[in-house]
Amino acid sequence: MQRITILGATGSIGASTLDVLARHPEKYQVHALTAHGRVDELAAQCRAFRPARAVVGTAEAAQRLAQLIADLPVSVEYGAQALCDVAASPDTDTVMAAIVGGAGLAPTLAAARAGKKVLLANKEALVMSGQLFMDAVKEHKATLLPIDSEHNAIFQSLPQSYARQPGASGVARILLTASGGPFLNRAVDTLEDVTPEEACKHPNWVMGRKISVDSATMMNKGLEVIEAHWLFGAPAEMIEVVIHPQSVIHSMVSYVDGSVVAQLGNPDMRTPIAHALAFPERIESGVGQLDLTQMASLQFHRPDYQRFPCLALAFEALRDGGTAPALLNAANEVAVQAFLERRIGFRDIDRVIGRVMDEIPHGAASSIEAVMEQDARARAAAERAVAGLARA
Ligand code: NAD
Ligand code: MG
């Protein structure tokens, strides 16, 4: 039995994970489920999966959850420390890191430091603290498996002996595919006016609201470039973004001999989740087999940086290094939230991030404290930029 903690159980990735687990009750047992709000949903999940522990954000939420599941032997906890506790618990083997945003960093790092098998969906954690996170994985002999579909595809396309040194394995390039999101073909001069509803309507994937907006700006791909850099030890020059609107090829690795190895499948996150859960074995995920004869065509083209300035900002942050990616991530989280709350327009997202990156000096990411301090400064600066743009 593999014992699992799901951080962010009520989210899109959390629900897909539980869907896969429910297909294999003989293999997996849920140790803990966590959610920020959405107490009713978490209560229903507790009823179905009978975890030993459940964690929510606040004392009030904990009180409500405890009432809803008073008949179950589930220990109800709340707060940031409880998240770290269930992630590092000796009673769990595997941690699905599926909290959205920087809030996931501390518990994901706690899982790595406790030497767990970490299934990483929370890309923001790695973007904020890549070096520190990878060092913790190595030092504490944790196992890190990517859930992000592109990175899972790259992982599957690399040799099993891969040691984060592309040259040593004959890797020429990592080809990160991107759907281009809902605004790939929309007239650029109308992007100022798009609504949160339009931005969240992804053509191929159903996801949480923050990552949906990130896909529309292509900041999601920018964060994924940084994620790929840390996961696979590849410099920015080796990572190429390729627009592939059908999202059937989930990413590729090209080798010095001219070979290109790709992973294909229907766009459904249960495939990478099942892959990482069972690795190195394979289990059924509920995703249907890909029928290539039903595909009209597969297209590929280069991204347009005028349309997607966030992608350029992310490459810049990766090249700058240090705390620059943490600043980028923090500014993006604030800007996306402001856009979702209709305080700023869609194109203001990249303006806010650009201003924060210019305003705050980038430092060394020498400790988690240093990263969190820069994160807080960037959030404050982003809020000021949002206020300025909202008035304009
Ligand atoms: P979501 O918004 O659907 O769910 C987020 C989860 O995090 C919820 O369970 C919520 O309760 C919890 N959460 C939110 N704020 C929190 C806080 N402050 N403290 C503790 N918990 C908090 O998001 P999602 O789409 O499931 O994405 C989760 C992560 O996975 C993100 O980092 C995203 O980039 C990544 N990811 C998602 C997909 C996808 O298909 N949805 C694909 C690749 C990567
Ligand atoms: Mg992805």
The tens place of each residue's pLDDT in the chain, 392 residues long, gives 999 999 999 999 999 999 999 999 999 999 999 999 999 999 999 999 999 999 999 999 999 999 999 999 999 999 999 999 999 999 999 999 999 999 999 999 999 999 999 999 999 999 999 999 999 999 999 999 999 999 999 999 999 999 999 999 999 999 999 999 999 999 999 999 999 999 999 888 889 999 999 999 999 999 999 999 999 999 999 999 999 999 999 999 999 999 999 999 999 999 999 999 999 999 999 999 999 998 889 999 999 999 999 999 999 999 999 999 999 999 999 999 999 999 999 999 999 999 999 999 999 999 999 999 999 999 999 999 999 998 66
Domain 321-391 - what CATH class? mainly alpha
100 CB under 6 A from ligand 1?
yes
The residues spanned by each domain of the chain are 2-146, 154-294, 321-391
Which atom number of ligand 1 is nearest to the Cα of residue 9? 9
In sequence order, what are the beta bridge partners of 97? 7, 120
Could you identify the atom of ligand 1 that is nearest to the CA of residue 269?
40
C-alpha distance from residue 239 to each of 20, 23, 75, 173 (Å): 31, 36, 45, 6
Question: Residues near 219 by Cβ (< 8 Å), separated by ≥ 6?
Answer: 310, 311, 313, 314, 332, 336, 349, 353
Q: Rounded to an integer, what distance in angstroms lies between the CA atom of residue 357 and that of residue 313?
A: 9
How remote is the CA of residue 222 from the centroid of ligand 1, in Å?
Answer: 17
pTM of this prediction? 0.97
Count of other CB atoms within 10 angstroms of residue 212: 22
For a substitution probing ligand 1, which of 5, 7, 12, 122 has the most ligand atoms within 8 Å of its CB?
12
CA–CA dist 35, 99 (Å, integer): 8
Q: Which CATH number fits domain 2-146: 3.40.50.720, 3.40.50.300, 1.20.200.10, 1.10.8.870?
A: 3.40.50.720
CA of 200 to the centre of ligand 2 (A): 15
Total length of the chain: 392
332 is in an annotated binding site: no
Burial class from Cβ neighbours inside 10 Å (0-12, 13-18, 19+) for residue 280 reads exposed
